[in-house]
Structure 1
């Protein structure tokens, strides 16, 4: 399988390493046309406002919505979760508006409040090491969104059909289980 990582800003190389660790081909996506050649895409962490502006500037906004409409899986991590969300607390600006969740940005504090913790993630692991850096969290889920993990009474991982969003950085560990879960989602939607 060919899995894309949106390469506009953020932890691109780290996500690509995880995909390759699992034996699949990773592609850095820098042009809209490349979306035709992949079966799923990861929107990495970084700075959500910057990523959002670059998505719009390079035409990825409508292209990623079309990608999603074809039921091709999308995995958003940290800022990628904010990019996927239908609602961002305190602002009318949304980026893709695909996942029926409301998110709070920088919900665990600034850079110096970054931390790691073990999470139970439904269908993935009972002990997944999660790295939180200026992380958001999901305030509300609607319709058919399934909560996969909660930390400190805050939703930090959820899935809605072919969309997966997490508030942390799974690519900053050497644990490929969450990326493996995403690859299984792609296989499920290929059928």
Structure 2
């Protein structure tokens, strides 16, 4: 193995280990939601928590990557929309490292057809979480490969579609934290790429998704 390649491999491995030390997989909802934990947990599935010091050493804060299902065919949910909770996007006020959903939970109301997809996602999530609790890892993919626990951490987001970087209430671009492919956590029926953004000055976390 050429020395330059070996050094690059070792640096990459060291970085991956460093990142992994800042991530908690499939955290307990009590560590994720600030209040109404049962209500949050009906609709929101915690995939991992991330220590933001991996992004900025001055940020002694924790954010949470979640999977969520909205029904694109339920036109009544538009009544719950606001600047940060709308089609393909949800947001949370960050309170001491925990999330408070920033609109009514009616945002997640489902039509009967979409309810089936939601139940499948929910079932897959708890099945994979049970496997993780028993084995300490996510289950391998059908081809035998280990799944990625994340697609990106920090830097500039690789968009599946168009640039959708949210703007915080002060008019600033929010900081990209990470991206995940949900198929590795909740199955492939409603799989999507979810992007997590953060505003330190506004205590705001935004999750938005795109589908290939």
> Same fold, TM exceeding 0.5?
no
Normalised by the length of structure 1, the TM-score is 0.25
Bigger Rg, structure 1 or 2: 2
Normalised by the length of structure 2, the TM-score is 0.24
